[in-house]
Structure 1
């Protein structure tokens, strides 16, 4: 699992990417898919996920719909057209950042030791 500091800067981009690809998703579904796609290396806690979702909703990048599942309501998050544009822009920015970071670090195949220093 990666540090909270690394996740903090990427959680919104992860959310936008998943919603852009999958359409409507509910919170637990987003966190579960992140965990599955990363083989458990990235785990998004509720305490990190929902504030990010609420922020994206507040700025108009996401909308919500509520569905009744049994006796419980489930809130689905949907990406807006502006959100799709933002998603593409932020993903490109992150990809460019990774390339720049790679130039600094001269990454080799990942190992937990410091042999690349």
Structure 2
């Protein structure tokens, strides 16, 4: 994604992660990045440097549970939502949808008002 879009992404990372986990149940970091990339046709590419701090913060806030599992001789950390995380995901997605609708209203071309003399 273009660098100017990074500021939009920063403000929505938590919502994106919560939404992905709400839909998929349990995911590991790389799986989250690939799923976001696929669903946005490459328009949003999460870096691990951006993703993992968000995952750790959500875990500290009690939104995520983690499980480590050995896969092909390597330890893989899976994330899933707690009940609080599920509620927060629903709320944040709803708030973001309202924000997007408000932005659409702002960005729609408006007819110019003519001032009578």
**Quick check: TM above 0.5?**
yes
Which of 51, 54, 68 is the matching residue for 1:52?
54
- 1:102 maps to which residue? 104
User: Across the two proteins, how many residue pairs are aligned to each other?
Assistant: 107
Deviation, 1:105, is 1.0
Displacement of 1:91 after TM fit? 0.4
**Any unmatched runs of 5+ in structure 1?**
108-117
Q: Distance in 1 between matches of 2:107 and 2:75?
A: 47
Q: List runs of 5+ in structure 2 lacking aligned partners.
A: 110-117
Task: Tell whether 2:85 aligns with 1:80.
Answer: no
What's the TM-score, normalizing by structure 1? Answer: 0.88
Task: Give deviations 1:68-108, integer Å, cap 9, x for gaps.
Answer: 1122100000101111100000000000011111111117x
Q: How many Å separate the matches in 2 of 1:24 and 1:106?
A: 38
Larger Rg over CA atoms? 2
Q: In structure 2, how many angstroms separate the alpha carbons of the residues matched to 1:39 and 1:104?
A: 26
